[in-house]
A and B are shown apart, each in its own frame.
Chain A
Amino acid sequence: MSESSERKIRCLVAKVGLDGHDRGAHVIARAFRDAGFEVIYSGLHQAPEDIVQAAVQEDVDVVGISILSGAHNTLVPKVIEGLEAYGAFEDTLVLVGGIIPDEDRPELEDAGVDAIFGPGTPMEETIQFIREHAPER
């Protein structure tokens, strides 16, 4: 049957913790939409378990956490643990964007973050990375 399957890359753009700035998350959501992705935006002030709930229910290929508050070392690993608990970590690309000091990067990468995009990263670079690394399912 020549019924065409139409796979779309689904991304959760997540704001976690007390950080109240989501302009960047909005800009990214829009750029992802224009790249043809389906974007679910979490809204502000989410707990890690809320992000996990959204990622599991929405079955996203990519979880992009935007974080500016400096709490990344506590919050991001919690999201990853939650994804693991649902068996959803293996085939989900986990990205972090925002203000992440260089010395914190190795720890996040060890925790399972696939890539970190700091301020000034061209949008096209992030989109290209997702296109190349979105997990095969």
Chain B
Amino acid sequence: MAPPELVADLLDGKHRALARAITKIENRSEGYRDIVAALHEHTGHADVVGITGSPGAGKSTLVDKLAAEYRERGLTVGIIAVDPSSPFSGGAVLGDRIRMGSNVGDMDVFFRSMSARGTLGGLSTATSDAVKALDAFGKDKILIETVGAGQNEVDIVKTADTVAVLVPPSSGDDVQMLKAGILEIGDVFVVNKADLAGSDKTVQELRGMLEMRERDPDDWEADIVETVANTGEGVEELLSVFDAHADWLDRTGKRDELERKRYAEEIRTLLRNDAGALVEDEVERRGGMDDLVERVVRRETDPYSVADDVLEPFRDAVRHND
């Protein structure tokens, strides 16, 4: 299907077109940029919530219950679940769909699995583009679920308006909580499996950590919610925290600020990627990386001089524009 047709079908509410658009975005297929560009003017209506946490924290089960509750309230839901890919084969088992039991047979919950595909930084671009597709399609709420294992995942969650971090009971001592990473990005912390022993202690440790967080008086005060995703306990409370955070974003003008910051970051990422691709082309034109490396190994030149050389035509072009 050609991009314009695909976009028209997607805006028309055709699920298959939405699914195919996301595939093209994931694959970086020809024409995917035109698709994302055409969708842009139709976006900006959905609330985007990121949900992250260690494997086994119960993210998928919670997402399933959140989606069911949203549906109960008459809202449509899009879900993107990101799973890691094998560093060896590049393959992946995307297993979160299994836990979408409350929503099987309901097309108004559009669940899409994505693999990390081992790309550095590329994943967050692909994910935020897929979010745009769901937004343009007309989904009211979009949930991004990702394993909080590394920087990549932290980046993805940054594409969300509200970030929930799941912390299982007894997930370590308070030094774990001081370590950098996902605990710094949460707007709300969810101690899931709150029926298990150790839950109270985890809540206390989290509270201690949050008290130490540096914040301005008008910053959002992160909440802690206890849930038992299996039974749906605490899900309504969590949703009201999401709503409160969304209200706060609107009231304080933070949503606007966040959006601007995000677009700036997105433009920078695209520029870096595109500039990188131009540089790769230039390297190829000069006989390829192997050749350049060979000359460095033979001590005929050095990496800094090579970089200077390769970039010379770009510098020239920029100077001509002045």
> Which residues in A have some Cβ–Cβ distance to B below 8 Å?
1-8, 10, 29-30, 32-43, 46-47, 49-50, 53-54, 56-59, 86-88, 137
Q: Are A5 and B29 closer than 8 Å at their CB atoms?
A: yes
Contact of A43 among B85, B94, B98, B113 (CB under 8 A): B98
The chain A residue sitting closest to B94, CB to CB, is: A40
Q: Are A38 and B91 closer than 8 Å at their CB atoms?
A: yes
The chain A residue sitting closest to B30, CB to CB, is: A5
A50 to B97, CA, bound (A): 11
Is B269 at the interface (CB under 8 A from chain A)?
A: no
CB-defined A-B contacts under 8 Å, sample of 21: A2-B281, A3-B28, A3-B274, A6-B117, A30-B93, A33-B92, A33-B93, A34-B88, A36-B90, A38-B94, A39-B91, A39-B92, A40-B97, A41-B93, A41-B95, A41-B98, A43-B98, A50-B104, A53-B107, A57-B111, A58-B94
Binds A, one of B16-24, B149-157, B170-178, B230-238: B16-24
A37 to B113, CA, bound (A): 13
A70 to B95, CA, bound (A): 26
Q: A2-B281, A7-B27, A8-B27 are in contact. Are A33 and B104 (CB under 8 A)?
A: no
Chain B contacts of A1 at CB under 8 A?
A: 274, 277
The residue in A1, A7, A41, A59 that gathers the most chain B C-beta atoms within 10 A of its C-beta is: A59
**Total A-B residue pairs with C-beta atoms closer than 8 Å?**
102
Q: Are A86 and B15 closer than 8 Å at their CB atoms?
A: yes
Is B273 at the interface (CB under 8 A from chain A)?
A: yes
A33 to B29, CA, bound (A): 22
User: Nearest Cβ distance between residue A38 and chain B, in whole angstroms?
Assistant: 5
A57 to B106, CA, bound (A): 11
Given A33-B91, A40-B94, 20 more A-B residue pairs with CB atoms under 8 Å apart are A3-B273, A5-B27, A6-B28, A8-B117, A30-B93, A33-B92, A34-B88, A35-B89, A38-B91, A38-B94, A38-B113, A41-B94, A43-B97, A46-B104, A49-B105, A50-B104, A53-B107, A56-B16, A58-B19, A86-B16
Is B189 at the interface (CB under 8 A from chain A)?
A: no
User: Nearest Cβ distance between residue B7 and chain A, in whole angstroms?
Assistant: 16
Q: Are A41 and B97 closer than 8 Å at their CB atoms?
A: yes
Is B110 at the interface (CB under 8 A from chain A)?
A: yes
> Which residues in B have some Cβ–Cβ distance to A below 8 Å?
15-16, 19-20, 22-23, 26-30, 85-86, 88-95, 97-98, 104-105, 107, 110-113, 115, 117, 119, 273-274, 277, 280-281
Q: Are A38 and B92 closer than 8 Å at their CB atoms?
A: yes
Q: Are B30 and A56 closer than 8 Å at their CB atoms?
A: no
A3 to B110, CA, bound (A): 29
The chain B residue sitting closest to A55, CB to CB, is: B19
Contact of A59 among B23, B91, B274 (CB under 8 A): B23
User: Nearest Cβ distance between residue A18 and chain B, in whole angstroms?
Assistant: 16
Chain B contacts of A43 at CB under 8 A?
A: 97-98
A2 to B288, CA, bound (A): 14
Chain A contacts of B20 at CB under 8 A?
A: 59, 137
Chain A contacts of B112 at CB under 8 A?
A: 57-58
The chain B residue sitting closest to A7, CB to CB, is: B27
Contact of A39 among B93, B110, B277 (CB under 8 A): B93
Q: Are B89 and A34 closer than 8 Å at their CB atoms?
A: yes
User: Nearest Cβ distance between residue A84 and chain B, in whole angstroms?
Assistant: 12
Chain B contacts of A8 at CB under 8 A?
A: 26-27, 90, 115, 117
A49 to B104, CA, bound (A): 9
User: Nearest Cβ distance between residue B138 and chain A, in whole angstroms?
Assistant: 15
Chain A contacts of B104 at CB under 8 A?
A: 46-47, 50, 53
Q: A5-B28, A8-B115, A56-B15 are in contact. Are A36 and B91 (CB under 8 A)?
A: yes
A96 to B264, CA, bound (A): 48
A41 to B60, CA, bound (A): 14
Q: Are A39 and B28 closer than 8 Å at their CB atoms?
A: no
User: Nearest Cβ distance between residue A1 and chain B, in whole angstroms?
Assistant: 6
7 smallest CB-CB distances across A and B, nearest first, come from: A43-B98, A33-B91, A59-B19, A5-B28, A59-B23, A36-B91, A36-B89
Chain B contacts of A47 at CB under 8 A?
A: 104-105
The chain A residue sitting closest to B9, CB to CB, is: A87
